[in-house]
């Protein structure tokens, strides 16, 4: 009688397989409950890939003008060429770099500044809150287009100008959301206990309160990314954004390009479609994060 052959499989293999299976099931569960959020992640990943690998993915350099002007979309030029003989497909890919750079830099500026000021105002209250709130009122009184006009006239258009203007314009909104959340948290038992134990204010704000107000900060930051990309395109369209030679979705829709939109509509369709997809992707992701991270909405969805 043949002896049974025993195969010794390490227990760690089963554990690793089980963990991998749980992660896969978790991903499918998220996709099933948040299909638009998953679509937003896919769109954002594609835009990030295009921005990071533009020199590899783009068939031509963004400033190459060696082609015939106003060529219709064709296999050689999928999005056609513009009024000076540049490949629009390549410029759309390189334009993702400008939008992502300006969007993330300005949102980082606004979120960091707004969170810091919101923590101070919500926890310290008093004259600090009064002074900062008056600053926020002054900023909110001026639309970002007016601020861009003033700053652009003073220092000239450019990426740094865009980031500064959009960052300052976003700060009051983040400030007031964080301030309202801190007002709620500062009266809870864990904060009262930390004060009673003699913990300094900065430690309470950073170690106790900030982790508990991260959810609204993440949600507003994701939503502001879509607004920042759209604002960069609008300012570039008005000639207040990046220099004309720099590939930009809004810049490719501005200036003398508008004179050719009727005879060469592809010059407007493809940069506009890329801009719309980017804004749509970040909006989908922001809505999904709000549904997942907001306890009230999560409770409503589960009831």
Computed over every residue of the chain, the mean pLDDT equals 81
CATH number at residue 186: 1.10.3720.10
- 262-301 tens-digit pLDDT: 888 888 889 889 989 999 999 898 888 887 776 554 544 4
* 186 domain-assigned: yes
Helix axes 126-141, 159-185, angle to 10 degrees: 140
Q: What is the pLDDT of residues 70-110, one digit of tens each?
A: 889 999 899 988 888 889 999 999 999 888 888 899 999 99
pTM value > 0.75 = yes
Whether 26 is covered by a domain: the verdict is: no
Do residues 195 and 185 lie in contact, with contact meaning Cβ atoms separated by under 8 Å? Answer: no
Higher pLDDT, 15 or 73: 73
Which pLDDT score, from 0 to 100, does residue 1 have? Answer: 45
Instruction: Tell whether 152 is covered by a domain.
Output: yes
Position 32 in a domain: no
| Angle (CA) 253 257 263, round 5° | 110
49 in a domain, yes or no? Answer: no
* pLDDT value for 14: 46
Q: Strands (DSSP E) along 16-165, which ranges?
A: none
**100: closest CA among 59, 174, 45, 144?**
45
Residue 205: domain span:
104-246+286-302
Is 148 part of a structural domain of the chain?
A: yes
**Overall domain count for the chain:** 1
Name 145's Cβ contacts closer than 8 Å, sequence gap at least 6.
234, 235, 238, 240
The whole-number pLDDT of residue 13 equals 47
Number of C-beta neighbours around residue 69 at 10 A:
13
Determine the Cα–Cα distance for residues 147 and 153; give it in Å rounded to an integer.
10
Q: Is residue 216 a part of any domain in this protein?
A: yes
Residue 173 domain flag: yes
């Amino acid at each position: 009688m043949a002896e049974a052959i025993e195969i010794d499989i390490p227990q760690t293999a089963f554990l690793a397989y089980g963990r991998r299976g749980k992660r896969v099931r978790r991903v499918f569960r998220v996709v099933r409950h948040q299909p638009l959020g998953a679509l937003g992640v896919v769109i954002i990943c594609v835009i990030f890939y295009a921005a990071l690998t533009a020199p590899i993915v783009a068939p031509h350099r963004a400033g190459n003008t060696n082609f015939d002007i106003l060529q219709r979309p064709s296999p050689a030029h999928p999005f056609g060429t513009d009024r000076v003989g540049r490949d629009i497909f390549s410029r759309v890919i390189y334009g993702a770099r400008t939008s992502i750079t300006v969007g993330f830099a300005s949102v980082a500026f606004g979120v960091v500044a707004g969170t810091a000021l919101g923590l101070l105002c919500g926890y310290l209250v008093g004259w600090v809150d009064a002074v900062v709130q008056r600053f926020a009122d002054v900023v909110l009184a001026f639309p970002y287009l007016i601020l861009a006009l003033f700053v652009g006239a003073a220092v000239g258009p450019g990426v740094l100008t865009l980031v500064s203007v959009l960052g300052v314009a976003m700060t009051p909104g983040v400030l007031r959301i964080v301030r309202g959340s801190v007002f709620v948290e500062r009266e809870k038992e864990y904060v009262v206990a930390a004060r009673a134990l003699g913990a300094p204010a900065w430690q309470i704000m950073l170690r106790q309160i900030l982790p508990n107000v991260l959810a609204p900060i993440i949600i507003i930051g994701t939503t502001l990314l879509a607004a920042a990309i759209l604002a960069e395109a609008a300012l570039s369209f008005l000639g207040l954004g990046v220099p004309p030679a720099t590939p930009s979705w809004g810049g490719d829709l501005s200036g003398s390009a508008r004179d050719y939109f009727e005879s060469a509509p592809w010059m407007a369709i493809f940069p506009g479609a890329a801009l719309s997809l980017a804004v749509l992707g970040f909006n989908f992701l922001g809505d999904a994060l709000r549904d997942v991270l907001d306890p009230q909405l999560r409770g409503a969805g589960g009831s």
